[in-house]
Structure formats: structure tokens, C-alpha cells
Amino acid sequence: MNSNIPFLNASIAQALDYTAPILFAALGGVMSENAGVVNIALEGMMRFAAFFGVWGSFVSGNAWVGLLWGVGIGIVLGALHAYITVKWAGDQIISGVAINVMAMGMVTYLLESIFRTTGYSPPVAYFGAPASKIHLTFLKGIPILGAFAELTILIWFALILVVVLHFVLYHTVLGLRIRAVGENPHAAETLGINVFKIKWFAVIAGSVLAAFGGLALSLGTLSSFTNSMAMGKGFIGLAAMIFGKWTPFGALGAILIFACAQVLQLFMQGTATGFAKLIPLGFYLSLPYMLTIGALIGVVGKAVGPASDGVPYKKES
């Protein structure tokens, strides 16, 4: 047998670990923006949820309780964003900026006042512990599939969610309504769809998904909260959503490309020779963002969002 298989599988598993938080964030964006509400607060929501998840797990000693706390703060933040942008037709970007700024200040404040540390929380019960991972021992040793032998439940959830969200958006009445509201809310209203209700639902659901992204960071990859979270992963998620043309599978594909760039970069740092060595690290790190702009320019296919994305909806009286 080839001795490279464990290495290959480990690399893929690493890529999946990198993928999950960003995928959650991107799917949150897909949900919200298909209903016409831009959410640039994905980053802040991830930060809040990453912290609350660790807090809940710290208090209870149970990672599932942490998960619930994270989802709870996701609902609260989603409701705040919806209250500002849907109920009062406030500017969606400004609201997003507000949540991001709040996330910086408030989470650091809570981190210092609850754990009495500045940089990171103490380790807590998490989903990445060997006992809580999902073991599919029969896959071990098989190339590529072997990477799926030992994953956290959150990674599985993220992957399954892509299919679920695709089904909901494109094969159910609810999904049709969400997309109708994002494309043309006035037309949707005349068909008897409650535009505000759909928007409220989509924004909160999207925010909860972003919260899962934060949880995948602090309770999946790591077992504690570090103050640099979410390290721009929310913004990569935003980029992936656009690169993936506002669809769940598109977002997944985009993130897998980003993840490959990431793994490639880690690989290059160690072993690159010749021409590849000449390309500095910064180019690999900024590749996802350059690709996204490239996608928007039309180099990699044209990316067009929902028609009424970002436009506050006001009922005509």
C-alpha cells in the first residue's frame, strides 16, 4: 500500500476542518440574502456565538449546552438585525457594522469579566474531543474517504446542511417565497406573501447559521475561545457566498477552492521548491479575496445576486 494515504487523508480532514466554520457563515449569508437582507455582520455573529458557546460549555461542562447558548445568542442578534432592517427599514450595512463593532467590544468585555483573562478562555468540553467525534472506523485506510473517518459532528452538520438548504430553497414553498421576497418583494406582496414575516424568518435563520460557524471554531476546531476569533472567517464566508452565486452548493464549491488554497499555502511554507517558493505567503492568503473579485468581474463566470438584495422594503400605502 502507498504510505501517502494517511497524509492525504489528514490533509483533506484538515481542509474540512477549515471549511466548516466558513461554510456555516456562507450558508447564513445565502439564507439572509436570498430574502433580500444583506448581512455583513456574519463575522460579529460568529464572534458572539463562539464566545457564548464556550461560556455555556464552561458553566455546564457539557458541549451541547454550549451549543444551545451559541444558538440563543444567534437568535438574539438575528432578531436585532431584523428589527433594525426589516421592522424599521434601517440601512442593512449600518446595522451590520453596528453588530460587528459591538462584537469587538462586548465579547472582549465579557471575556475579561467572566474568565478574568485577556487573550483566551480556559479549555472547556468540546465536540472535537476524541470521544465526541463521529467514528466511522470502516473508512480508515481508504484514500480520500478515509478523511471522513473521524470528524466532529459540526462538520457533518455543515455538509448535510448544504443539501438541506438547497432542498428548502429550491424545492419547497417556503424556499420559493424566500426567493420571491428577495427578487421582488412588491410582487410577492401582491401574491399574498407576508414579506415581513419571511424576512424576519430568513434573517434570524441566517444569523443562527452564522452562530454555528462561530461554534464550529470554538467548540469544534479548538476547545476554547481566543480573542482573535473569528479571524476574518465571517468575511471569507461572505466572499464564498458571492463567489458561489448566492447558492448553497456554489458556496460549498467556493470554500473548497479556498480551502485548497489554504492547504496549499501550509504545504508550500514547508516544502515548496523552485518557482512556487518565490511566491510569498501573502499571495496565498489573499487568494480567496482575489478570486472573489475575479468572479465578480466575470473572469470566472458572472456572479449576480438576488435583485432586491440590500433594498429596505417599505409597504406602499
Going by C-alpha positions, the residue among 244, 238, 258, 252 that lies closest to residue 304 is 244
Subset of 120-139 contacting other proteins (CB under 8 A): none
CB of 190 vs other proteins, minimal distance in Å: 21
Subset of 21-60 contacting other proteins (CB under 8 A): 38, 40
The answer to whether the beta carbons of residues 15 and 263 sit under 8 Å apart is yes
Q: Which region, judged by CB under 8 A, interacts with other proteins, from 71-79, 134-142, 250-258, 281-289?
A: 281-289
CB of 98 vs other proteins, minimal distance in Å: 4
Distances from the Cα of 98 to the Cα of 20, 29, 77, 163, 274, angstroms: 26, 17, 11, 32, 46
Subset of 173-232 contacting other proteins (CB under 8 A): 232
Q: Which three cell numbers stand for residue 85?
A: 432592517
Beta carbon nearer to other proteins, 102 or 176: 102
Subset of 290-309 contacting other proteins (CB under 8 A): 290, 292-293, 296-298
CB of 135 vs other proteins, minimal distance in Å: 37
> From the list 67, 80, 203, 222, which residue makes contact with other proteins (rule: CB under 8 A)?
80
The answer to whether the beta carbons of residues 33 and 182 sit under 8 Å apart is yes
Beta carbon nearer to other proteins, 101 or 129: 101
CB of 282 vs other proteins, minimal distance in Å: 3
Beta carbon nearer to other proteins, 127 or 246: 246
> From the list 124, 193, 238, 252, which residue makes contact with other proteins (rule: CB under 8 A)?
238
Size of the site for other proteins (CB under 8 A): 49
239 is a contact residue toward other proteins (CB under 8 A): yes
Beta carbon nearer to other proteins, 223 or 292: 292
Beta carbon nearer to other proteins, 163 or 290: 290
Beta carbon nearer to other proteins, 119 or 141: 119
Beta carbon nearer to other proteins, 128 or 244: 244
Print the binding letters for residues 82-121 with other proteins: x by CB under 8 A, - otherwise: -xxx--xxxx-xxx-xxxxxxxxxx-xxxxxx----x---
276 is a contact residue toward other proteins (CB under 8 A): no
> From the list 171, 192, 282, 316, which residue makes contact with other proteins (rule: CB under 8 A)?
282
> From the list 281, 301, 307, 315, which residue makes contact with other proteins (rule: CB under 8 A)?
281
User: DSSP per residue over the chain, as a string?
Assistant: --TTHHHHHHHHHHHHHHHHHHHHHHHHHHHHHHTT---TTHHHHHHHHHHHHHHHHHHHS-HHHHHHHHHHHHHHHHHHHHIIIIIS---HHHHHHHHHHHHHHHHHHHHHHHH--SSBPPP---TTSTTTSEE-GGGTTSTTGGGGSEE-HHHHHHHHHHHHHHHHHHHSHHHHHHHHHHH-HHHHHHTT--HHHHHHHHHHHHHHHHHHHHHIIIIII-SS-BTTTTTTHHHHHHHHHHHTTT-HHHHHHHHHHHHHHHHHHHHHHHH--THHHHS-HHHHHHHHHHHHHHHHHTTTS-----TTTTPPP----
Going by C-alpha positions, the residue among 51, 77, 68 that lies closest to residue 206 is 77
- List interacting residues with other proteins (CB under 8 A): 38, 40, 80, 83-85, 88-91, 93-95, 97-106, 108-113, 118, 232, 235, 238-239, 242, 280-283, 285-286, 289-290, 292-293, 296-298, 310
